[in-house]
């Protein structure tokens, strides 16, 4: 969910650096750059309904986690199997105990109620205080298929790491509590929950945390809803992001399981960044411009 804030910040940052950009449109760009600014309720209504109400989303998730389980079994049987992206592994995987690395939000935790509340309240801007309040409720649900998969992995002796860009320490206790209450495998000291600013690997990009884990484990699978859950360097143009996906083509559906998220993500930031670099100020206009017509 941090992505939403980042998407807004990206546009502001780009605009701030663009000497020729016109005056920000009132109501679209707020004066305080610390605050999220992109009005998105109209954009997220259908996406949120799809995630909450469609049988299709449930079916995709169940299928994805069935695939994950099959791939986990294959990975356990193959001592040479390692899911780390190129360049991130610093020590050989052989002989290390197995682990899976999963993102949290919209990978195994369902935050659509937060999105729904924002829409109902016509509270159009992503607001970090409101997000913190939602997190502190500890009421995110488990996504279909997720709980059974991570419990199965733990039963096979596989360590489960949750690598999320929720904030450490602000969101740590509530995140650990929420995961634990739902029944996800969480270490007694919560050490398998690695959030942004984790002292062991504090970078915002997740590669540093993946490397930290890979120094201790053979990594069987990566699971996420965002390209950054698999590789670093995703804050680039939409075209370059597609190139990244192509570069790792053999991984998808085998070692890397991508789950759908039509509501928010770094895909959105990429559109806004590229558009902002052209001096555009209206996020919704940017999105309309990005539509492909043939
Ligand atoms: Mg996520």
C-alpha distances out from residue 288 to 11, 45, 93, 97, Å:
15, 16, 46, 48
277 inside domain: no
Q: How many domains does the chain have?
A: 1
- pLDDT of 26 > 50? The answer is no
CA 193 – ligand 1 centroid, Å? 14
CA 222 – ligand 1 centroid, Å? 12
177 inside domain: yes
List pLDDT tens digits, range 191-207.
Answer: 999 999 999 999 999 99
Domain harbouring 232, CATH code: 3.40.50.1000
Give the model's confidence band at 42: pLDDT under 50 very low, under 70 low, under 90 confident, else very high: low
CA 266 – ligand 1 centroid, Å? 10
Residue 36's pLDDT is what?
35
CA 249 – ligand 1 centroid, Å? 21
Mean pLDDT of the 91-116 span: 97
44 inside domain: no
82 inside domain: yes
CA 47 – ligand 1 centroid, Å? 15
Residue 3's pLDDT is what?
57
Residue 20's pLDDT is what?
31
- 3-state DSSP assignment of residue 267: helix
Give me the residue label for tokens 């929950």: 193
Distance, CA of 185 to CA of 171 (rounded, Å): 18
Residue 124's pLDDT is what?
67
CA 241 – ligand 1 centroid, Å? 17
Q: How confident is the prediction for the chain on average, in pLDDT?
A: 88
- pLDDT of 167 > 70? The answer is yes
Determine what percent of the chain is predicted with pLDDT higher than 70.
Answer: 85
Ion ligand 1 neighbours, Cβ < 5 Å: 103, 105-106, 225
- 3-state DSSP assignment of residue 26: coil
CA 141 – ligand 1 centroid, Å? 14
Give the model's confidence band at 2: pLDDT under 50 very low, under 70 low, under 90 confident, else very high: low
Residue 84's pLDDT is what?
98
59 inside domain: yes
- 3-state DSSP assignment of residue 195: strand
Minimum mean pLDDT range among 84-93, 125-134, 136-145, 192-201: 125-134
């Amino acid at each position: 969910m941090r992505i939403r804030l980042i998407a807004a910040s990206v546009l502001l940052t780009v605009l701030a650096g663009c000497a020729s950009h016109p005056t920000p449109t009132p109501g679209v760009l707020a004066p305080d750059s610390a605050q999220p600014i992109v009005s998105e309720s109209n954009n997220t209504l259908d996406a949120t309904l799809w995630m909450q109400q469609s049988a299709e989303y449930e079916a995709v998730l169940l299928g994805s986690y069935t695939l994950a389980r099959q791939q986990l079994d294959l990975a356990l049987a193959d001592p040479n199997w390692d899911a780390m992206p190129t360049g991130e592994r610093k020590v050989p995987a052989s002989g290390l105990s197995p682990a899976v690395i999963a993102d949290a939000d919209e990978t195994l935790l369902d935050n659509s109620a937060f999105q729904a509340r924002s829409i109902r309240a016509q509270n159009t801007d992503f607001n970090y205080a409101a997000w913190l309040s939602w997190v502190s409720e500890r009421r995110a649900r488990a996504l279909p298929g997720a709980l059974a998969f991570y419990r199965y992995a733990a039963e096979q002796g596989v360590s489960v790491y949750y690598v999320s860009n929720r904030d450490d320490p602000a969101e740590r206790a509530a995140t650990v509590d929420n995961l634990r209450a739902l029944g996800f495998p969480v270490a007694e000291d919560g050490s398998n929950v690695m959030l942004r600013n984790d002292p062991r690997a504090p970078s915002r990009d997740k590669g540093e945390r993946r490397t930290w884990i890979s120094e201790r484990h053979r990594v069987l699978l990566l699971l996420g809803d965002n390209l950054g859950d698999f590789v670093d360097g995703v804050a680039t143009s939409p075209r370059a992001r597609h190139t990244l996906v192509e570069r790792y083509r053999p991984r998808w559906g085998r070692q890397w399981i991508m789950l759908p998220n039509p509501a928010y993500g770094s895909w959105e930031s990429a559109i806004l960044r590229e558009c902002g670099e052209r001096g555009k100020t209206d996020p919704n206009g940017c999105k309309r411009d990005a539509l492909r017509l043939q």
